Structure 1
Amino acid sequence: MTVTKRQELLFIYETKDCNPNGDPLDENKPRTDPETGVATVTDVRIKRTIRDYLHKVKEHEILVRDTVNSEGYLKDGKGRCEDFFGAAGISEKETITSLVSKVEKVILEKCIDVRLFGCTLPVEHGTGTKAKKSSIRLTGPVQFNGFNRSLHRIAPILVQGTAGFASTKQATQKSFREDHIVPYACIAAYGVVNEIAARSTGLTDDDVTLLLEGLWNGTESLISRSKMGHQPLMLMRITYNDGYRVGDLAGRIKLISEKEDIQIRSLNDYSIDVTVLVDSIVAAKGKIESIEVKQDDRLKFRDTGEECLFAKIQRLNEITINPLPNIG
């Protein structure tokens, strides 16, 4: 069934001794806010985690992934688009308008990431001066903040070590490597599922369930050297009755610790104050259809000074909080 209700997502996770999101234009150093010193993670990184999980684990087709041509080179957008010409039944005499319509229909049917996140895909048919060009543009109903932030300042460090191999044929010893890592970060990401945009991509409730699974399990499964150390801590979905949303869920929580921010190294060093968030939820309870939560029991929340699991917060007693399905 196509999504008909607006939803908000709050995802809290920790990273230890790794690089939450490297900047390829700055030696792959961890992204940070230069003014506040907090770590930042882009929506692109979060969507990559979800896409990889859905493709590699759930075996769903993904539009935005690395594919190669017959010569072994990475395909560009036009080349990736051509992968769907066969399924779309594109003929040599196809008009560009018809081609766009047919390919759009096929990628929406086949590619779950397009139904979730939308796409901008260049389309070209023919060669040389006779080539017909256009593009497919679909607004994704699921969006995350462009920059999702840690709840505290971090201090990246440079780690040097020995590489696995020599750098040249004539070398007599192995080369050295440098890694930029963050000792610890607790990061809060915010997302929205928009029911209006869902109509144009055909996003279903089952697709959103897979999104949530990919967000939690995909983060837990990150295994590359730079990403090993990710652990999901809490995922909450609020579903509304009438298009309302509280907004900026991540901005309504704050980390509390007796330690300096850059000294934080584990869950034992802090708790998360959700008083403002709970205030907002209580004020909107008449517009909320449901709240679902998955939480690592080690994560400590505080509401008006009282420590408890999120689902056990006293002020939310009048709102049913259910566990998220198919996660963990």
Structure 2
Amino acid sequence: MAEVIKNRYDFVVLFDVENGNPNGDPDAGNMPRIDQETGHGLVTDVCLKRKIRNYVEAACEGQEGYRIYVKERVPLERSNKEAYEYLGISEGEAKDIKKKDPDADEKIRDFMCRNFFDIRTFGAVMTTFTKAGLNCGQVRGPVQLGFARSVDEIMPQEITITRVTKAKEDDNMPMGRKFIVPYALYRVEGHISANLARKTTGFSEEDLKLLWKAIINMFELDHSAARGNMAVRKLVVFKHESELGNAPAYQLFDRVKIRRNNVEIPARSYGDYEINIDKDDMPAGVACTEMV
């Protein structure tokens, strides 16, 4: 069995977009998400986790223990049935299993964590089991991401597009639109709890290596005309010696400083920014590593 992580981690990811829409808002005509008060761009944690899941699914296709639970257009109950098979029961018999086995909830939870990387990593709300009288319920994952926020304000642009062909003879020339961000550098912060990994999901050292690889490459399998050019530019990892941590996360995040070289003109490339990481006088028990 893989060794469960023993150290807490906090990390910062910097990624950018050029002439693309990093995360459209369906309630705003798919316009790039934006903080209405400050004008800064936003990318949700759900969006980033989706890309990490997609990379892991592609990189570990067919490997035991590295399947993905939350998949696009795949009902969760398909994976749930495997848990029932593991217990040797049908879904209809699940309501009576706890009378015979009081630990049935924990056995299902452990089965799902062992087999699905994203449950082991991000956790899951498995309320679909409750209709069968089971309560393996909400699994809190050790890896948590916040919303990504652009370093500067963004100015989304609406581009009108046309098709050169028509579906029918009497159709008008079809026209559409797409939103792009000419350029933006985004920052997202994350945390990894060794305590939750040990107590709940069993997130291991091998899982951690895969997670770093997935974060660094999460946009490499996600290229499209709509998203433009997106890339992870820097991954800064703070490793704590202890399970519960040796310093507050905000003190470590404050050490990653981003400055635009020329504030008089809009940024149009990663080279327009200067990234500085203060590694002097690090808190005792904390080590800083740049992975990109």
Q: Is the 8 A contact 1:246 1:284 kept in 2?
A: no
The answer to whether the aligner puts 1:138 opposite 2:144 as a matched pair is: no
Q: Give the TM-score normalised by the residue count of structure 1.
A: 0.76
Q: Is the 8 A contact 2:108 2:136 kept in 1?
A: no
1:143 Cα deviation from its structure 2 partner: 0.5
Q: Is the 8 A contact 1:61 1:111 kept in 2?
A: yes
Relative to structure 1, is the Cα distance of residues 269 and 161 closer, same or farther in structure 2, using a 3 angstrom cutoff? Answer: same
Relative to structure 1, is the Cα distance of residues 291 and 270 closer, same or farther in structure 2, using a 3 angstrom cutoff? Answer: closer
Q: Give the TM-score normalised by the residue count of structure 2.
A: 0.84
* Deviates most, 182-191 or 265-274: 265-274
Relative to structure 1, is the Cα distance of residues 216 and 37 closer, same or farther in structure 2, using a 3 angstrom cutoff? Answer: same
1:165 Cα deviation from its structure 2 partner: 6.0
Deviations 1:233-257 (A, max 9, x none): 1112121112223413555523223
Distance in 2 separating the partners of 1:32 and 1:148:
11
Deviations 1:178-207 (A, max 9, x none): 111101011111111111111110000110
The answer to whether the aligner puts 1:287 opposite 2:285 as a matched pair is: yes
Distance in 1 separating the partners of 2:9 and 2:253:
14
The answer to whether the aligner puts 1:18 opposite 2:24 as a matched pair is: no
Identity %: 27
The residue type equivalent to 1:265 in the other structure is R
The alignment partner of 1:218 has SS state of coil
Distance in 2 separating the partners of 1:191 and 1:139:
15
Distance in 2 separating the partners of 1:32 and 1:282:
35
Distance in 1 separating the partners of 2:267 and 2:141:
36
Matched with 2:217 is 217
C-alpha root-mean-square deviation of aligned residues, in Å? 2.5
1:224 Cα deviation from its structure 2 partner: 2.7
Structure 1 stretches lacking a partner, 5+ long: 69-74, 296-328
1:87 Cα deviation from its structure 2 partner: 3.8
Q: Is the 8 A contact 1:15 1:184 kept in 2?
A: yes
Relative to structure 1, is the Cα distance of residues 240 and 133 closer, same or farther in structure 2, using a 3 angstrom cutoff? Answer: closer
Q: Is the 8 A contact 1:38 1:151 kept in 2?
A: yes
Q: Is the 8 A contact 1:13 1:188 kept in 2?
A: yes
Matched with 2:112 is 107
The residue type equivalent to 1:259 in the other structure is V
The alignment partner of 1:282 has SS state of coil
Q: Is the 8 A contact 1:14 1:232 kept in 2?
A: yes
1:57 Cα deviation from its structure 2 partner: 2.6
Counterpart of 1:244 (choices 232, 243, 246) is 246
Counterpart of 2:269 (choices 251, 254, 266) is 266
The alignment partner of 1:203 has SS state of coil
Matches within 5 A, 1:30-109: 30-59=32-61, 60-68=66-74, 75=75, 77-78=76-77, 80-91=79-90, 92-94=92-94, 95=96, 97=98, 100-109=105-114
Distance in 1 separating the partners of 2:22 and 2:170:
33
The residue type equivalent to 2:175 in the other structure is F
The alignment partner of 1:123 has SS state of helix
Q: How many residue pairs were aligned?
A: 275
Structure 2 stretches lacking a partner, 5+ long: none
Relative to structure 1, is the Cα distance of residues 215 and 170 closer, same or farther in structure 2, using a 3 angstrom cutoff? Answer: same
- Relative contact order, higher structure (CA 8 A, sep 6+): 2
1:158 Cα deviation from its structure 2 partner: 0.4
Q: Is the 8 A contact 2:130 2:137 kept in 1?
A: no
* Deviates most, 77-86 or 17-26: 77-86
Relative to structure 1, is the Cα distance of residues 185 and 107 closer, same or farther in structure 2, using a 3 angstrom cutoff? Answer: same
Distance in 2 separating the partners of 1:20 and 1:42:
10
Q: Is the 8 A contact 1:81 1:122 kept in 2?
A: no
Distance in 2 separating the partners of 1:164 and 1:116:
46
